[in-house]
Amino acid sequence: MYAKMSNQERVTLLDLVIAKLVGDEPLTKDDIPVFLSHAELIASTFVDQCKMVLKLTSEQHADDEEALATVRLLDVLCEMTANTDLLSYLQVFPGLLERVIDLLRLIHVAGNDTTNIFSSGGCIRAEGDISNMAEGFKSHLIRLIGNLCYKNKDNQDK
């Protein structure tokens, strides 16, 4: 179903997942298996598509919906790893930690090489408004790395 959605529909679906994860009511016992299957889909999609955000470094792709959907996948992964019932599954998901670390390195280099939304101050306008959805992307990558390494010696050693 997710693969057949438009990028705008994907972002809306991912927003709903985030709303459920951060809502006032904790996930129930019945919710956990459903969210574990969602976690597998979201993690595998992020691992496959995470480099799409590098399109945002060029001006002509600043509003690329596919890249923005990938940004939202990262947001969902951050919220999922904040849930102890979902964390242990994502900590051992093949390639997730390595891909997040690689992406952080690539974005850091891209931000240093040219002025773009990943550059320091590149996404803040003079009046202080945030100019796009990629604001905070590096910090979310770092948050996800921290969550994936939380109480997990194997990940800490990577």
pLDDT of residue 42: 96
**120 — pLDDT class (breaks 50, 70, 90):** low
Listed by start position, the domains of the chain span: 2-156
Q: What is the pTM of this model?
A: 0.85
Would you tell me how many other CB atoms lie within 10 Å of the CB of residue 77? 27
Classify the C-alpha dihedral 32-10-109-63 as positive or negative: negative
- pLDDT of amino acid 158: 85
- Return mean pLDDT, the chain: 85
3-state secondary structure of 156: helix
Query: By the 8 A CB rule, do 141 and 104 touch?
Result: yes
Candidate ranges 68-72, 99-103, 154-158; pick with highest mean pLDDT: 99-103
More confident residue, 31 or 126: 31
Question: What phi-psi label fits residue 28: left (phi over 0), alpha (psi between -120 and 50 degrees) or beta?
Answer: beta
Query: What is the average per-residue pLDDT within 88-101?
Result: 97
